[in-house]
Amino acid sequence: MDSADMILITGATGFLGGATVVQAIQAGLAPRLLLLVRAQDPAQGMDRLQVQLKRLGAGDSELAQLRLSQILCGDLSALDGIAADPRLQRVSTVIHCAALATFANHPALETTNVDGTLALAAMMQGRPRLRRFLYVGTAMACGTHSASDHSIPEIANLSLAQEDHLVPYTRSKAIGERLLRQRFPQLPLVVLRPSIVVGHTKLGCTPSQSIFWVFMAWQKLGALTAAMHDKIDVVPVDWCAGAILHLALKDKLAQPVFHLSAGTQSSRSFRQIDSALAVAGMGNVCGRDYEQIGVGKIDLLLPRIKIRIPDCSPRLLMRALKLYGEFAKLNYVFCNKNLLAEGVPSAPPFTDYIGLCATSTRHIPIGEQMKWDFK
């Protein structure tokens, strides 16, 4: 990459996009960043950006490396107004992290995750310096009928059938992938699919409580839709951001699709997770006392919820646990051979930093933490 080339990052005010910006600054790439931010003007955009980057651990000296001239004010739904910006001619790499990531049935899901993605590709294709367009999807876009042995390969074609997706979000990301390939065959597309992104290895869940509260809810209730020996593929946001940056900067990549996942090396069982929570002081090890229940029986947990998790809406929590319970019982581990072959180190296991996640959320009610996922 030439020193004059720019790296366009979308979603910089989000969790994963913001973590990627922090990693880029710490890698000495601050002068090359061009950041698409929803704002009326660069000053407002910088304010929004700095709030998120501070939350993700950026210090004042790191924030000071960014200039107002690196803020590209725009929205994925209205890119025509910035398509002629001369800074885009210098972009060699696009890291498209922006997405509406919610398990709620949000009316803007496809508008943002599909239409916005296609509009970005249309704006960037054919630019003279463009060498790589990284689309950050989700490993769960594989759907629910992907593998009998629970091991999910890094393949290109994903099912778009509604019945294969537990929530509209994962289907919207699969559609985005498919249409990028179909409509922009000349785009230098690389697809990155993170597995389940939870917490930060140094900050715990201070930047975002997304998904972590589910583990705490299962633990408090002593019930789970999966078996205790089943595994779950979880990665921390800072490792994931580092993997994205590694793949963005490498001269050549051997494959077009990568799982940013824990894989067989670092995925952990629910029993191991329960033990790690107990070590962190979050209750006793339940182990054999966990009740394995079907998703259809979660309503029977209502009395237990009212007693053990009184700070949230029982109906909303039951609805959420049904959704996450369906994902948990899939027992998926996402193959990451393509990723490791590119020199990306294995992800730290969830159990290595779960204590920090627990400590950082100890004072936050589960009902409050749930808002990260039900926007």
The answer to whether residues 58 and 171 belong to one domain is yes
The answer to whether residues 85 and 217 belong to one domain is no
Q: Smallest Cα–Cα separation from 27: which of 342, 238, 237, 203?
A: 238
Rounded to whole angstroms, the Cα distance separating 204 from 208 reads: 8
The answer to whether residues 12 and 154 belong to one domain is yes
Question: Total domain count for the chain?
Answer: 2
**What amino acid is encoded at 292 in this protein?**
Q
pLDDT, one tens digit for every residue, the chain (375 residues): 566 799 999 999 999 999 999 999 999 999 999 999 999 999 999 999 999 999 999 999 999 999 999 999 999 999 999 999 999 999 999 999 999 988 778 888 999 999 999 999 999 999 999 999 999 999 999 988 766 667 899 999 999 999 999 999 999 999 999 999 999 999 999 999 999 999 999 999 999 999 999 999 999 999 999 999 999 999 999 999 999 999 999 999 999 999 999 999 999 999 999 999 988 877 665 555 789 999 999 999 999 999 999 999 999 999 999 999 999 999 999 999 999 999 999 999 999 999 999 999 999 999 999 999 886
Q: Is residue 242 part of a domain?
A: no
pTM of this prediction exceeds 0.85: yes
The answer to whether residues 163 and 269 belong to one domain is no
**What amino acid is encoded at 126 in this protein?**
G
**Hey, what's the torsion of the CAs at 114, 116, 117, 123, to 10 degrees?**
140
Strand order in the sheet with 91-96: 71-73, 33-37, 6-10, 91-96, 132-136, 189-194, 257-260
Rounded to whole angstroms, the Cα distance separating 93 from 71 reads: 16
The answer to whether residues 19 and 137 belong to one domain is yes
The answer to whether residues 51 and 129 belong to one domain is yes
Q: Is residue 252 part of a domain?
A: no
Contacts of 101 (CB under 8 A, 6+ apart): 14, 138, 169, 210
Rounded to whole angstroms, the Cα distance separating 355 from 151 reads: 27
The answer to whether residues 214 and 185 belong to one domain is no
Rounded to whole angstroms, the Cα distance separating 370 from 103 reads: 11
Q: Tell me the residue range of the domain where 131 lies.
A: 6-194
Rounded to whole angstroms, the Cα distance separating 350 from 357 reads: 10
Rounded to whole angstroms, the Cα distance separating 113 from 374 reads: 17
The answer to whether residues 45 and 105 belong to one domain is yes
The answer to whether residues 96 and 220 belong to one domain is no
